[in-house]
Chains A and B, each alone.
Chain A
Amino acid sequence: MSKYLLGFLAATFVGLSLAPTASDAEIVEEERSLYQNVYIMKEVGLTCMRFRKKSRGDLSQSCIFDERPKELVFDYYKLAMGATFFLEEPEDMLIVGLGGGVLVNRYKEVYPKANITSVEIDGVVADMAKKYFGYTDDSGQYETHVRDGRVFVKRALRKDKRYDFILLDAFNSDYIPEHMMTKEYLEEVKGLLKPGGIIMANTFSSSALFHHESATYQDVFGELYQIHFKDEKTNRVIVVSNEKLPAIKDLLKKANHYKPLLSEYGVDTLRVYDAISDEINWDTDAKILTDQYSPANLLK
């Protein structure tokens, strides 16, 4: 009955990220939540959070290296650190889709003064983030809200909350939930931005949905940058703003500035810089996704 179930039935299977083949994976902890089974697995020097036990083609939601916990495992993490090129000492940041909290932990280090609010629908996931991935929200600077991202955004709008930076990273075991890909949702998120604020969205570039999703962002924001490594097919990060985005060449200064700091995380900022594109490489006639029409998991 639930749309997640329908998603399972209807959607072709796409892994969230290329996870190591886990023949020798060991389940450290598993817990059934309201939304999925959450597994913490140890494998080839990594600790990962997964929503499915089978490792084939899967789908690690979060991973860290056991020996070097600061070093980012996935390419999409590295792409998402490209946010630093666009931001000027942000005061308020919103993360929709905490997961293991790997990115939040890095953002905390890069912007120690920023207030960071994280939203995670699954309380079990938030608990695991604290237990295995070093995520904390003890100080007053950080908040964790266990609720549906879209519901949080709607409430935050009513409470006149505004953010300098918003990361859209809400995933279920298939892809982004359908009600969090629509034009109406993006307009709501856009409404939460301070003037000149930046929204960054973690998405895939390898499905039919790519065109619909891109067209929807373009419809709401006018222009968007995509960041994706040319030699890597799956992940792309979308960058949009409620004002004109800075010219790509103007981002190089920040890319150089953050090069030493981000290299600690295994991020080559110049490689990320090279991955930024303003090219329109999607079918601009693709039907945009709305609350009326969002068969996202069927289009995938």
Chain B
Amino acid sequence: MNTLVLICAFIMGFSIMTVELLGGKILSPYFGGSVYVWGSIITVFMLALSIGYLVGGRLSLKEPNTRKYGVIFIFAALTTLPLVIWHAELSDWVFIQIEDPRYGSLVTSVILFLIPTTIMGMVAPYSVRLLVANAESSGQTAGFLYFVSTLGSALGTIMTSFYLVLWFELDYILYGVTIVLVIVGIIAMLFPKPLPKAEKAELINE
């Protein structure tokens, strides 16, 4: 079952970077391709992920299980959907409201990416909770989880920028991400993971 969590975290790492990279393509028709457009996108992604880590960690305190884990993926997909459907309209609306392309791109990034990326960020700490068997090996477990999910991010970055944009239209790639996240979520929900034995014992002792 640990393998399932690792695969899920890998796919989430991949998806985050796919969306982030396409963010540049979504915003450039309205705000240009300048460094501040990337600055806006990266700022919002980092901010969202940091909030996601916090919330995901909190969430993992209360009866962690793979059913809830799967729900996070499905929520991530559902909140990505409005971005796919309305990114042009929303970007255009902000473009009309805000003349300065720096703040225009920042506000658009917040509207489009903050919520889905926050939810995506919840997966990492929650994965750690599902994987950790005891306090002693927790650092190693967390390290391996970060290794796998960041590897997913690296692959997501190169695949999206080198190949996916060449093979598919932007919206189709984003729809692909949402579909994959829903499927992963459902699979995660269907495979309830029993807590590692040591943890169970600890819980009983408490």
Binding site for B on A (CB under 8 A): 1-4, 6, 10, 34-35, 121, 147-148, 150-151, 154-155, 158, 177-179, 182, 184-185, 290-295, 298-299
B150 to chain A, nearest CB (A): 15
* B contact face: mostly helix, strand, loop, or mixed: helix
- List A contacts of B42 (CB < 8 A): 1
CA distance A293 to B88 in the complex (A): 14
B160 to chain A, nearest CB (A): 10
- List B contacts of A178 (CB < 8 A): 25, 28, 33
Q: Is the CB of A299 within 8 A of B29?
A: no
Q: Is the CB of A291 within 8 A of B25?
A: yes
- List A contacts of B38 (CB < 8 A): 1-2
Q: Which of B34, B96, B166 contacts A34 (CB 8 A)?
A: B34
Q: Is the CB of A298 within 8 A of B28?
A: no
Q: Of residues 99 to 132 in B, which have CB atoms within 8 Å of A's CB atoms?
A: 99, 101
CA distance A94 to B145 in the complex (A): 54
- List A contacts of B95 (CB < 8 A): 154
**6 nearest A-B residue pairs (beta carbon):** A148-B32, A292-B169, A179-B28, A295-B166, A295-B165, A292-B170
CA distance A74 to B96 in the complex (A): 39
B161 interfacial contact with A, CB 8 Å: yes
B35 interfacial contact with A, CB 8 Å: yes
CA distance A154 to B88 in the complex (A): 14
Q: Is the CB of B29 within 8 A of A147?
A: no
Q: Which of A3, A154, A177 contacts B30 (CB 8 A)?
A: A154
Q: Kindly name the residue among A147, A178, A290, A293 whose own CB sees the greatest number of chain B CB atoms within 10 A.
A: A293
- List A contacts of B35 (CB < 8 A): 2, 34-35
Q: Is the CB of A151 within 8 A of B165?
A: no
Q: Is the CB of A179 within 8 A of B29?
A: yes
- List A contacts of B96 (CB < 8 A): 158
Closest to A172 in B: B33
CA distance A184 to B30 in the complex (A): 11
